[in-house]
Structure 1
Amino acid sequence: MRYAEASDARREKGEVLGALDGIPFSIKDNFCVKGVRTTCSSKMLESFVPPYTSTVAERLEGQGAVLIGKNNMDEFAMGSANLNSYFGSAVNPWGEEDRVAGGTSGGSAVAVAVGAGVFSIGSDTGGSVRMPAAYCGVVGYKPSYGVLSRHGLISYASSLDCPAPVTRTVEDATTLLRTLSGVDEKDSTSTELRRSERCIDFHSASPLAGVKVGVPAEYWVEEMSDDVIRAWKDGLDTMEKQGATIVEVSLQHTRAALAAYYVLAPAEASSNLSRYDGVRYGHRSVEEGGEGGEEVKEETNAAQDLHRMYTNTRTEGFGAEVKRRIMLGTYVLGTSSFKAYFEKAQKIRRMVVDDFDAAFRRVDVLLVPSTPTAAYTIRSATDMNTVTDTYANDVMTIPASLAGLPAVSVPQCLSSSSLPLGLTVIGQRLDDLFTLDVAAVLEQGRGMTAADFVPALPSLR
């Protein structure tokens, strides 16, 4: 409350710090905030209180924004449905039956959807903001890699992780981009945003005149529902009516991108999560046999004791999905598997980048569905045959992540079951402002913003 009261006092004196002064927001629980418990929704960091603040949170604080809470997430940002949190699942506010909020920034999307803060800062590695935003009927913006500083964002896959805003409107996302972007000396991968030379006249009857919108043939996947197909066609029709030219393009390695991601991201996670050993910070096993066992007794072989402590700490501290990805990542980095899996995945990533480069020589932006279907029930998620069934839900979002491109998921319409459906505008690297402008025109052409979806929400449980 003291931050809100300080903001009120500044307003009375006419000394506001910026456009965000006094605006309440939440932040995903993998961003460090000094003195505030930061858990990554994991037992491993259940009691961790960071001694420093992430750059993103620091810049928001410098503008007077008021942090009101941390958001639930999939443990260490690994998941597609926000069902992997040590503290319980995030539940989508839409629908009569409990549905997934989407992962891994499900808590951020739910918070914005129900009005618990004006915006939230999530993170997006392979679709972790765009998918929940689509499922919950809000805007999810993944910036170009490096545009927003990763300093203080607890790493999952360092070459893919991006701080990513969740908002009610595209305009709000643009405001946050202007506030948060800029090179950060604490993040060597941070870069300057390109100042787009292209301008859109929002007051024109044809604001997209001269803009070429690409439709990737490979995104017509068999998993896509009829509702999503209809939403996609409606979105393309809307853009065409606003003056855009629709062009079919090819991103031929779209399917391969999914497999490559689930080699590369776990490989990076295997390295990043090796720091959680029970020695420096985080959970530490204190019992010889793990939880419930006898107290550790002195043994002559100190190395054996240390190995047992490491093993028990990581066994107790990590959930099933995190363990699965660490094991997968460790395997693909092994001497016998490196060339067969990791090197090939890196080559596929290069091919994905080349696909986008070729497409953007013909078009300005791409328009694709954010997800293959509307949000599914939590019950059906637990009934899925294999883990790879859930991984397949990322097929629409992963390619842009591998290429480091800006992508904005915008609510398009409701499904036949009255659930939100989203479309994503993908732009050229570092051309985030133009990408957001095109997304804003799509939002404007639909005649609704995410804020208009709120009356359709049921009362909170």
Structure 2
Amino acid sequence: MAWTVDEQLALTACEAVAAIQAGKLRATDYTATLLARAAALASLNALTALNMEGALKAARRIDALSPDAKARLPLAGLPVVVKDNINTAELQTSGGTPALAGFKPNHNAPSVQRLLDAGAVLLGKTNMHELACGITSTNFAAPGPVRNPYDPGLIPGGSSGGNAVAVAARIAPAGLGTDTSGSNRIPAALTGCVGFRPSVGNGGAERRYHDPDAVLPLSHTRDTVGPITRTVADAALLDAVITGESALPSIALAGLRIGLPVPLWDDLDPAVEAVARAAQHTLEATGVTFVELDMPDLLPLNEQTSPITAHETLDDIRAWLVANHAPVQTVEELALSIASPDVREIFEAILADPFARYYHAALTVWRPRLQQLYATTFSSQRLDALLFPTTCIAATPLDEIRGSSVVSVNGRVLDTMLAYLRNTDPAANAGLPGLSVPAGRTADGLPVGIEFDGPLGSDRQLLAIGSACEQVVGALAPPTI
């Protein structure tokens, strides 16, 4: 059959793979359509590199396979985008910063390699908040700030903003981003996508995705790669390929017990709260039991863990530069050419390292207490998951002069990063899995996300819960571009 452009753009990742495996859609045609879409929407600044020749060459290889060979590839012909801080040998890994522009590591990150081995096509690398040190993706380096496809005058969230925009704008059906404090889930929420942060725990066997020295880092304790997609089923597909796990468990919403952490429902923008509460009530009508949780220690404990990332960044970036034979070998050299004013300020603080004296207690005292709070809450209340709005506010105006450094929340001017990270940061600090799914749109048409957090290692169950939720809450209409 002949597919129109609109029909191809509407395909989810699962639908696209099924069509290619069945011989109904040529991978080459699909890839060409998305490459053209990327070029047409270049003003969104979602991509830092487009793999024109390489993507078409990979797609032709898929088309040349026999039907049986295609059926054995779970991602046969699926174009994907990869955040520009995740190692790819074919395209640059710049971290969105000038000192690393054009730098190609000599190997793919293991998570990327597993996607490619499964038949995925690398479409391009995505723009981001410079060096992942922010949540707006207002990058002052080329190609410029990432723009929200629902309103190009607004931020898309970050730091994986380019991934979310590429997926939301139908440039790609799926992508890999990274999440340290909320960098996958925040942009997913602000652009109507699904953002998944897999379990990290204390590292080692508890870490779901293993990408050592293959991601330009912020914190080895907290960093992880994760999918950004348009549906939970698509996120589950990428997760299964990366981990080798099987189909999602069967989940019935009726009978689930889900906690509502009061500190993460407090002081929300009314427009966001209205959408999130409507989603909660929809789930309640299916038989989900919601349990209010006071958790007064949640945010204070989380604040005590903040020195972990601030202290680890210096040594972790240095180790990545050396391990990957980058064109600059010290953080001091890297920092000299930082383009974004807010990131320059952060790196001035990182280089001074005022957090060193607090690091040991944050890692060995406060983080374990935060983890114990979560474990005790899940156990004592017999909870399957927690639920709350992914962010306190929807997308806010993009500031190309100051870099979107402050926002207004209920009449109060707050630091943008702290305002957006409030709800996503605690579970990330504790190493738990988190999944942001679209809940609806505000009266102004802006996407709102709700997040499900689960116990450590409950990733597939959490994805199954999110998928069941998605079926009753409904999908968002795509942006009009």
> Aligned letter for 1:369?
P
Instruction: Measure the CA separation in 1 of the matches of 2:288 and 2:183.
Output: 29
- Give the Å deviation of 1:24: 0.8
Please name the residue that 2:369 is paired with. 351
Q: Report deviation, 1:327.
A: 3.9
Q: Residue 262 of structure 2: which of 217, 220, 240 is its match? A: 217
Task: Return the letter of the residue paired with 1:264.
Answer: I
- Matched letter for residue 372 of structure 2: D
Match of 1:289 in 2: none
Cα drift, residue 61 of structure 1: 0.8
Structure 2 CA distance for aligned equivalents of residues 333 and 240 of structure 1: 47
CA contact (8 A) 1:112 1:118 kept: yes
2:397 aligned partner: 377
- Counterparts of 1:205-354 in structure 2, within 5 Å, are 207-222=252-267, 224-256=268-300, 259-260=303-304, 262-275=306-319, 281-283=326-328, 314-317=335-338, 319-332=340-353, 338-339=357-358, 343-344=361-362, 347-354=365-372
Larger Rg: 1
TM-score normalised according to structure 1 size: 0.81
Aligned counterparts of 2:338 and 2:167: Cα–Cα separation in 1: 30
Kept in 1: contact 2:136–2:404 (CA 8 A)? no
C-alpha distance in 2 between matches for 1:163 and 1:398: 16
- Alpha-carbon shift at residue 76 of structure 1 (Å): 1.6
Q: Unaligned regions of 5+ residues in structure 2, if any?
A: 1-55, 201-206, 408-412
Matches within 5 A, 1:47-126: 47-84=102-139, 86-87=141-142, 88-95=144-151, 98-126=153-181
Cα deviation per residue 1:353-375 (whole Å; 9 max; x = unaligned)? 12211210111111110110110
Residues in 2 aligned to 1:311 and 1:392: alpha-carbon distance in whole angstroms: 29
- Cα drift, residue 243 of structure 1: 1.4
Alignment of 1:177 with 2:239, yes or no, is: yes
Partner of 1:424: 451
How many residues get paired?
Answer: 408
Q: Indicate the SS of the match to 1:177.
A: helix
Q: In structure 1, how many angstroms separate the alpha carbons of the residues matched to 2:141 and 2:72? A: 37
Deviation at 1:140, TM superposition (A): 0.6
Deviations 1:304-333 (A, max 9, x none): xxxxx9856642357544443344345456
Where structure 1 has 5 or more consecutive residues not aligned to the other structure, the ranges are: 183-192, 201-206, 285-308
Give the distance between the partners of 1:413 and 1:405, measured in 2 at CA: 25
Query: Using the alignment, how far apart are the partners of 1:270 and 1:3 within structure 2?
Result: 37
Indicate how the Cα distance of structure 1 residues 350 and 422 shifts in structure 2: closer, same or farther if over 3 A, else same.
same
Report the counterpart of residue 150 of structure 1 in structure 2: 211
Q: Distance in 1 between matches of 2:327 and 2:387?
A: 42
What is the CA deviation profile of residues 141-193 of structure 1, one whole-angstrom value per residue up to 9, with x for unaligned ones? 111111112232222111111111011111111111111015xxxxxxxxxx7
Per the alignment, in what secondary structure is the counterpart of residue 92 of structure 1? coil
Q: Alignment RMSD, CA only?
A: 2.8
CA-to-partner distance for each residue in 1:279-323, whole Å, 9 max, x for gaps?
953248xxxxxxxxxxxxxxxxxxxxxxxx985664235754444
Separation of aligned partners in 1, 2:450 and 2:178 = 19
Q: CA deviation at 1:262?
A: 3.9
Alpha-carbon displacement from aligned partner over 1:187-235 (angstroms, at most 9, x marks no partner): xxxxxx7999x741xxxxxx2222111011111232x111221122222
Match of 1:42 in 2: 97
Give the equivalent residue in structure 2 for 1:301: none
TM-score when scaled to structure 2? 0.78
**Do the aligned residues in 2 keep the contact of 1:409 with 1:424 (CA within 8 Å)?**
yes
Pairwise CA distance, 1:261: 5.1
Contact 1:250 1:355 in 2 (8 A): no
Pick aligned residue for 1:441 from 468, 473, 480 = 468
Q: 2:276–2:448: 8 Å Cα contact kept in structure 1?
A: no
Contact between 1:263 and 1:329, CA under 8 Å: does it hold in 2? no
Shift of 1:251: 2.9
* Aligned position for 2:480: 458
Distance 1:11 1:391, change over 3 A: farther
- For the residue of structure 2 that corresponds to 1:100, the secondary structure is coil
In the alignment, the residues of structure 1 paired with residue 421 and residue 238 of structure 2 have an alpha-carbon distance, to the nearest angstrom, of 25
